[in-house]
Amino acid sequence: MSKSITGFSKLSKSKKIDWIVETYFSNTEEAKRVLKQYWSTDEKLQQLHDEFIENTITNYYLPLGVAPNFLINDTLYTIPMAIEESSVVAAASKAAKFWLERGGFKTRVISTTKIGQVHFIYKGDFNKLKQFFNKTKSKLIQDSKAITANMEKRGGGIIDIELRDKTDDINDYYQLHASFETLDAMGANFINSCLEQFAKTLKNEALLFDGFYAEEKQIDIVMSILSNYVPDCLVRAEVSCKVEDLSDNDTVSGEVFANKFIQAVNIAEVEPYRAVTHNKGIMNGIDAVVLATGNDFRAVEAGVHAYASRHGKYSSLTHAKIENGLFTFWMEIPLALGTVGGLTSLHPLVKLALELLHKPSAKELMQIVAVAGLAQNFAALRSLTTTGIQQGHMKMHLMNILNQFEANDEEKETITEHFKTNTVTHSAVVEAINKLRVKK
């Protein structure tokens, strides 16, 4: 029977575990064993992991794989990917190899502007508020100098602050809409600190503004927070080659492949049900690299999907065309990433992943991550429009099924050989295991 607890966060890790296993598990010793087997034997490393979040009881492992042979702007990369889904790393690697022989990926950063907002309620004359804002704008920036000084030394800082009238949406609702350049930092803490200072200055200066009536002076700050929607923090990735060079076998011509591929992209551009799955495949590649490099994949996901809906209908992030005999497949995507601060300087595997990528700047990481998403989408569409997605996916999933049934090495070898020429389905694998074990 579950029960509530007070002061849980103040308990030691061992006491937390004692309470959890005694409250929720019938076999307390087995539950403890599973939790503890994922602890690092290096006490210092384990303490580091324990302190990443509150109430840590163990470490949760994801496989960290690599996809080699990515040629990006004439530089070769091996890309780290942290993900649990079978076939993602294999698909990315296959796409990388395909385009390695066709000139590789071309990328460029379009813009790197990030956004933060102070949301507030003002009950009064908008023209007065606009006059007050114009008078106070320089003060907002000046009062933030202690926060922005180091960032400005590196070439970043506050780009601009706008006053936005949102009263058509909510009565008396206004915003300070601020844009920032945060260079190699993702910049969440920097932006939020600036915004909170803006809010403080806005509120204080309103009390001193002679143009306001008493009620107008009482600006009510609702919240000050960065936005994870970053449509002006954009990167473009693309691949292109002659249409005839798209064929790598004798069964499908480059022209047939290209036309069917473009049709698949066009469907994702107009059909939201398809677009969601299409874009999910892109995010398989993007999230895996974002996670491996210690960045916030939830923020990236939210911003990307908002961007996919920017025209009022959810649509494909990727596009394809044939022009003058040249096939081009591309994507422009918003990515707010960092290579300094946060986990990038704390997590040992994140540091290793960034070194594997030649210690990229934030702009370089944006390009690498975008390429991983484009490659993943290319591989998925290539499978969908030729052999079908399940053939490759289920072969990669085969090992997961075998591990569910605790197959030994001999069984794995025999069954893997069998499915080189047979269709992999869950029921077919179960049947093969059972037959093999009956023979024994």
Neighbours of 218 (CB within 10 A): 15
- Residue 319 is inside which H or E element, if any? strand 318-323
* Residue 69 region by backbone torsions, left for phi larger than 0, else alpha for psi between -120 and 50, else beta: left
Residues whose CB falls within 8 Å of the CB of residue 62, separated by 6 or more in sequence, listed in order: 82, 83, 84, 291
Which member of 85, 232, 269, 411 is catalytic?
85
3-state secondary structure of 353: helix
Calpha distance 50→39 (Å, rounded): 10
Strands 75-82 and 106-109, bridge-based pairing: unpaired
Strands 326-334 and 318-323, bridge-based pairing: antiparallel
Q: Per-residue b/e over 138-156, b at no fewer than 16 CB within 10 Å?
A: eebbebbeebbeebeeeeb
10 is catalytic: no
Which member of 181, 205, 287, 296 is catalytic?
296
For residues 112 and 362, the answer to whether their CB atoms sit within 8 Å is yes
Which member of 97, 166, 200, 280 is catalytic?
280
280 is catalytic: yes
Which member of 114, 217, 393, 397 is catalytic?
393
DSSP assignment of 93-154, as one string?
HHHHHHHHTTT-BEEEE----EEEEEEEE--S-HHHHHHHHHHHHHHHHHTTHHHHHHHHHT
Calpha distance 202→209 (Å, rounded): 10
**Rg of the chain in Å (alpha carbons):** 27
3-state secondary structure of 75: strand
135 is catalytic: no
The residue whose two tokens read 């052999």 is 387
Instruction: Note the Cα 204 to chain centre separation in Å.
Output: 38
29 is catalytic: no
3-state secondary structure of 352: helix
Dihedral, 341, 343, 345, 351 alpha carbons, nearest 10: -130
The token pair that represents 387 in the structure block? 């052999």
DSSP assignment of 159-195, as one string?
EEEEEEE-TTTSTTEEEEEEEEE-TTB--HHHHHHHH
Residues whose CB falls within 8 Å of the CB of residue 200, separated by 6 or more in sequence, listed in order: 143
Supply the residues annotated as catalytic: 85, 280, 296, 393
